[in-house]
Amino acid sequence: MSRVVVMGAGSWGTTIAKVIADGGCDVMLYSRREEVAQEINESHRNGDYLPGIQLPPGLFATSDVATALQGAEQIYLAVPAQTLRENLEVWREFIPKGATLVSLIKGLEQGSGLRMSQVMVEATGLPIEQMAVVSGPNLALEIAKGEPAASVCACPDVERANEVARTCSSDYFTVFTNHDLIGTELGGVLKNLIAVAIGIVNGLGYGQNTKASIMTRGLAEITKFAVAHGARRRTLFGLAGLGDLIATSESSLSRNFRAGEMLGRGYTKKEVLKRLLQTAEGLSSVAPVLKIAAEKGIEMPIVTQVSDVIEGRMRAGDFGRQLNLADDVEVES
């Protein structure tokens, strides 16, 4: 079996490590906090991020980067999008040259607007063929509890995609494969923006008609954006697009939904960030997405309204009243 490492012991990193261990493969989990690694090794728990979840004996943890990455063949990256480049620049001397790097991150880099696979190539100097992404409806606590779920792995190298899918699958978590790295990655990024929008209208107390309208029109917006970047339309209607959007758009387990809900209830961006404790990638991805959309001439009225609410340019109570600004052509089949 390949040596598998997960870098990042937050809720999703720990969950993926658990899935891999439950699938029969030993896995090393890197935590920057020694006390978290110690808790995982001694009591098989990560109480800060997965309270009540017993971790399997095949899951080990360390706070030492060199120890974690030594001999690694598959390296899963589960850190906030805005810290990925900085982390990789520190870690790259320890990354084996032939390893597959797997992004579990759903965000764009602020400033550059790069997808995570692009950041991974730049920061490590490794070829894009060694980069993969796992994405889909991934609410960590549900999966950690063993509730059945599925995701997709995309990688330019077919065999690497298959290897990652085999490693990540267990009796309750199934990973499929495709070759659309761009679409799979952008689906995970863009659905967060619509989840924030759904959270806003939920915080306002609006009902299912409003939510369904925004979700559907939001899917049209993000599909248009992704296709303009070379994604396959069908990817956005699969697990990495529509599937992830459904899971993230109305669950209290979703940080992006909770962030939007607080905005809808009148909290400011600063107050939301203070109360979330964990990163909501949707909040940091809005600006780079809209910048890129403007450069390509892509209209995204719902995402624009999300940005206006986040930055205080629009009252939350006015959100969603301008759906008529959206392209009046329905999503193409």
C-alpha to C-alpha distance for 127 and 171, rounded to whole angstroms: 32
Sign of the CA dihedral running 16, 223, 300, 328: negative
C-beta of residue 215 within 8 angstroms of C-beta of residue 253: no
C-alpha to C-alpha distance for 62 and 239, rounded to whole angstroms: 32
Half-sphere exposure of 239 (CA within 13 A, CB side): 20
Structure tokens at 189: 């990024």
C-alpha to C-alpha distance for 287 and 268, rounded to whole angstroms: 17
Q: Looking up tokens 């029109």, which residue turns up?
A: 217
Radius of gyration of the chain (CA): 19
| Annotated active-site residue in 18, 97, 106, 191 | 191
Strand 149-154 with 131-135, pairing: antiparallel
- Report angle CA 130, 186, 27 to the nearest 5 degrees: 45
191 a catalytic residue: yes
C-alpha to C-alpha distance for 65 and 61, rounded to whole angstroms: 11
Count of other CB atoms within 10 angstroms of residue 176: 16
3-state secondary structure of 258: helix
C-alpha to C-alpha distance for 5 and 182, rounded to whole angstroms: 24
C-beta of residue 217 within 8 angstroms of C-beta of residue 249: no
The amino acid at 307: S
C-beta of residue 303 within 8 angstroms of C-beta of residue 289: yes
What are the residue numbers of the active site? 191
